[in-house]
Each structure stands twice: as structure tokens, then as C-alpha cells.
Chain A
Amino acid sequence: MSIPASVSPKPVSETLRPLIPAFAGLSRFRRASRRRGVPWIPIFIITVMVSMALFAPLLAPYSPIDQTLRDKLIPPFWVEGGSMQYLLGTDAFGRDILSRLIYGARVSLLVALLALIAGGGVGLLVGIVAGYVGGAVDHVLMRLVDAAFTFPAILFALLLSVTMGQGLGTLVLAISLLLWASFARVLRGEVLALKQRDFVALAKVRGCSSARIMLTHILPNVLNTFMVLVTLNIGAVIIAEASLSFLGAGIPPPTPTWGGMISDGRGRIAEAWWVALIPGIAITLLVLSVNVFGDWLRDRLDPRLRQL
């Protein structure tokens, strides 16, 4: 398989580098990072988070919902006043933060998964059809994509939650509506390039229908790109979910979500910083990990996508 060289323009630093001694060290670092190995730490963090989500009832020491008002706002164990009873402390209702964090992973990852399946799937379909069929169909679909890009994302999600009511479905729908357009645009480009390859014309000569060509010739050849897009978007989706939950447009309380937990802790950030900070750290770690993993996967599978 021949892979055309990356088309992204040379950054300014590439041309400046030989002129500036300080860049010498940087370039060594960049060369090292380019042929970096498997990102084990991010993979480990992702595995931990996924297991938390999968085995939440087994791992969580307490119920994530039951309130113990007597034990409210206990700090984490390493802080003065903390206890080993609640490792990461408790919130204003005396709920164990560790348990809420573990159950919250469920919501975050479930929403991410569903939104990526729904939004990514629609984007995949639209991208392939627009790219392959072309003509008026392409024009109409791509104008829809342009329109989707102009929606103010968060505002639109808030509107949905007001009109449809809060819940998992609304959240997934809102995030999918933001996702599909970028998937469709990138994949359409891929399909346009693919369509020029002789095997597509030959498939037609062999007697394949358009639907068959899209399914057996185009789809398998854009799956790599699709997988890369999925991993690169997990982080964005998790942040979108957290933002919406923080704003109160996500899953309604008392179901624990990471965004919702930050929102709960916001009012007392001065005296009980752990309530907001700990889920914040969890989000940061997960998003950072999937992004590093996604970068690595992209470099492995599809170096042409470096500009994404």
C-alpha cells in the first residue's frame, strides 16, 4: 500500500531550526517523540478508568448516592482532618467522593461511547455517501455539515435539555449533533481521494453496484481514519459531557457524573477544594491519556492525518 507523504505545510520552526542553536535540543526531543514507543502510562490510566466504569459496584466502598450528613466535607486522607475511612474525602452531603468518582466514570464513558457511535456513525455514513455519490447529494450534505459547524455547541445542548428534558438520551443526542459534522468532513475528503484509485473504477467494471462499492471498497479503506477520529474525539466528548453536566444540562442529580461533581464543589472551592478538584483531576487524566493514545494510534495507522 502506498501512502502519499503528508501534505501539511512545513511549520516555520522547521526552516528556522538550523539557524538557532536552541532548536538543536528541541529537534532531538521531537525526533525521539516521533518514534516514541507504545504509550503505556496512558493505556494504564485508560484501563483503570474503564475497569472503574465496568466494575463500579464491586470497587466502590460506599453507595454513590446515600447521604451521611454527619460525615460531610471530610477532606482526603492525606490532609489534616482526613481519615482512612473516606480516602478521597466526602462532599457537602457526606457522600464518599471515591465512590462517586468510580460511578461517575460510568456516565462519562457511557456517554462518550454512545455519542461516538451515534455521531461518528452518522458522520461515517454522510462522509462516504457525499464523497462517493458526489454532485447534488454532496452539495446538500456538505452544506448541512457547514450548518452544523455554525451551531453554538453548548447553547444548543442547553436548548435540547430544556425542550427534551435532562437525561442520557438528550446528552448523547446533543453531543452527537456536534460530532457528526467533523467526522463527515474528514471522511468525505478521504473518500474523494479513494475514489480516484483504479480499484473503484474496476469494481464498477466488474459489475458492482454503488452500494456494494461503498460497502466493500470504500468503507474498509476509511476504517483506519475512522478509528483515529474516534480516539482523537474521545477527549472532546468527555469534556463536552462534563461541561454540560457542570451547567446542569446533563444527567440529573443525584446520579454522579464528573462534571456534576465539579459543579457541586464549585460553591465551596475555598474551604473544601477536594470536592471539585478531584473529579477535575480525573477528567484531566482521562482526556490527556486518550489524547496521547489517539496521537500514537494516528501516527501508527494514518500519518497523513497529522494536521488534525
Chain B
Amino acid sequence: MTAGSLGEFEGQPLLRVERLRKYYPFTKGILFAKTLGQVKAVDDISFTIAAGETLGLVGESGCGKTTTSKLILNLEEPSEGRILLRGKPIHGLAGDALREYRARVQAVFQDPWSSLNPRMMVGRTIAESLIVTGWGNRTDIAERVRELLEQVGLRQDQATQYPHEFSGGQRQRIALASALASEPQLIVLDEPVSALDVSIRAQMMNLLKDIQARSNVAYLLVAHDLATVRHMADQTVVMYLGKIVEYAATQTLFDNVLHPYTKALFSAVLRPRPDRREEEIVLAGEVPSPLNPPSGCRFHTRCPFAMAHCSREEPPLREVEPGHLVACHLYDAAAAPAFARMKEEIVPT
């Protein structure tokens, strides 16, 4: 359905995130607040999502995943950088343009117990975006709600029930149906299955894939669970402390993990063959505070392969292999470490 409008935007990615930064000031006092510092929740990240594609966003809690999704949902204003939907900046929209954006970009959140209004019938919840955009008359909307309920595998008569009558999995389907109502082009899925029982996770993921196949909707899948990302995502972005450390097609990335942080993430996953010994990286310590991130490479304090210049120089995100971007000094061209050392020796003179 949404694919029809693709033509005029040929070549333009659906969503482009450009050098996005979000700093939260850390203040003291109320009336004459003093800024003591800034929490760098998201610090200069860029990526694109193509129509009908899924981008997985992985990282520990506190790495800026949720902030990124809030920025894309236009719930927060970026400190710097911009987000473009089909080439048009999304922040600073107002009135009809904002409503139109809201209809195109939707969300499903992690906690199904918190994402439905307990005092609202689920049919009304699903219809909400249609009601606020004046999409059609009562009967049209009721018809669309029935269609959506069926699409997510619920009964049509369940529209008049309240959220407490549903299980977690069913609630998440209702949340999905409400997100789908306005036929969005992008849905931000913030940990859509992590609150669900393992037994119904696969169901939910398959439902998401079915819907994508049918409607060509793009997903931004925020997750800390690698299995989910592997199953769902076409592209994967790994974040650490507000920065992208690795970015590649999911298959490429899973076949050949390059960044030490991503390696550590992977080695923390339970393996199907625990008896088989594999290289294991256990990270020491906590994630450093984003209020005062480490100098140079932000991962150097926990990196088992840290080199001397890692704490001084921030590694840029570079294409190390075709289509595989990594921000790590380990993959500097062979001459690079020597070059860097040389530069250091020369510059002071």
C-alpha cells in the first residue's frame, strides 16, 4: 500500500539520521538553574533506513537506543543534527505537517502492561490515530478496526473489551494494531518482544515479518537481544555510550564480528552448543557514565585489546570491509598505528 508513493522519492532512503546528537543538561536549582554538565545520550550518530527494511539497533541499557527512538518519534528535540523522512526534516514540524508525520511514523513499546490505557476499550485505542486525523466516519473506522484486529490475530468482537482482559502477548498485538492503523511507513519497535514469554516471542516476530512483507513498512528494531535482531533485521547498528561502534548488513555483521564490544556482546549470548569452546570475552566493570564519557575511544576502559592511543584518539566509523563500518583502532590500516605514533612524535616539536 505505502509502496505506491515510493516512485517520486526514488533513490531517497525512507529515513535518514544525520549526525544526530542529544545532550541532556544536568542542572542544579530550579529558578536560576545552573548547568553542571551534559549527559551525552546520543553523540553524533548517522544511519539510514530504506523503505520496507528493518534496522536493528543493539546495545546495553543506557547506550542511547531509547533516546534515538524518541528522537525519531519526534518526542524529543535533537541537540544537533537532523532526521529526514523522505528527505524532509522532521523536527520543527507543526500543525498538519506534524499530524501527517505522526501518521507515517508509529511505535510499539516494550511494556505491554504500560502501553495501553487501562480505561479505554481496545477498539478505541486502535482507532485513536484515525480519530485524531479525521480519517473517516464512524463506520469506516469501525470497519478498519475490525480489519486490524484480524490482521494481528485477534477476534473482531474483542474491540469492546478493556486491556485488563488480555494477556501480555495479546496486549502487544493490540499495541501493534494501533500502530498499524494509520498505515505508517516506519514503525519504531522499542524492545517489542523482550517483555513477552519466550514461547510467544517467535509468534510476535513472525507476525511483524508477515506484516512487513504485506505492507512494505520499515522497522527500527531497538533491542538488546541479538537473537531477535538476527531474526528480524536487515541492517544492524551496534551502539555503545551514545556512539555507533559497528554498522553493517545483519548477515555480514553476524558472520564476521569486528568490534571488540560487539564480540563481547556476542560472547555473552547463550549458545546452542555450550560444550563447544569458543573465544569468550567477559567485560570488566560497568558502563561508564555518559555524563563523563572516557576520552578517545569510549570503549577503551573495558576493551581487552586497548592500545595506548585508544584513550587519546577517537576512532572514526570507517568502512573496514565492503559494507561493514567499524569504529575501532584495531582496524586502522597496517601503517596507521605507526603513522599515528609518528604524528605524535612530530607534532610537539
Contact = CB atoms under 8 A, between A and B. Distances in A.
A2 interface: yes
What 7 A-B pairs have minimum CB-CB distances, sorted nearest first? A207-B102, A220-B119, A198-B115, A206-B129, A198-B114, A1-B118, A198-B109
A216 B107 contact: no
Interface in B84-108: 98-99, 102-103, 105-107
Given A202-B109, A205-B75, A207-B133, 4 more contacts: A205-B105, A205-B107, A206-B129, A208-B132
23 contacts: A1-B163, A197-B115, A199-B116, A201-B109, A202-B109, A202-B115, A202-B175, A205-B105, A205-B107, A206-B106, A206-B129, A206-B132, A206-B182, A207-B99, A207-B102, A207-B103, A207-B132, A207-B133, A207-B182, A212-B132, A216-B117, A217-B117, A220-B117
Q: Looking at chain A, what size class is its interface with the partner chain?
A: 20 to 34
Interface string B107-149: 1011101111111100001001100110000000000000000
Given A1-B164, A198-B111, A221 B102 contact: no
B186 to A, nearest CB: 11
Contacts of B132: 206-209, 212
Nearest to B119: A220
Contacts of B73: 201, 205
B75 A221 contact: no
Most chain A CB atoms below 10 A, which of B73, B99, B113, B114? B114
Interface string A237-281: 000000000000000000000000000000000000000000000
A139 interface: yes
Contacts of A201: 73, 75, 109
Contacts of B133: 207
A203 interface: yes
Contacts of B175: 202
Contacts of B75: 201, 204-205
B115 A199 contact: yes
A110 B50 CA distance: 65
A201 B117 CA distance: 11
Contacts of A202: 107, 109, 115, 175, 178
Given A207-B99, A212-B132, A221 B119 contact: yes
A197 B115 CA distance: 7
A216 B120 contact: yes
A203 B128 contact: yes
Given A206-B128, A207-B99, A2 B106 contact: no
Given A139-B30, A198-B115, A212-B132, A206 B120 contact: no
B75 to A, nearest CB: 6
Interface string A187-219: 000000000011101111111110010001100
Contacts of B107: 202, 205
Contacts of B116: 199
Interface in A117-155: 139
Interface in A216-234: 216-217, 220-221, 223
Contacts of A205: 73, 75, 102, 105-107
A207 B109 contact: no
Nearest to B130: A206
Contacts of B109: 198, 201-202
A128 to B, nearest CB: 14
Contacts of B164: 1
Contacts of B120: 216-217, 220
Contact of A199 (B30, B114, B129, B182): B114
Contact of B117 (A209, A212, A221): A221
A2 B102 contact: no
Contacts of A204: 75
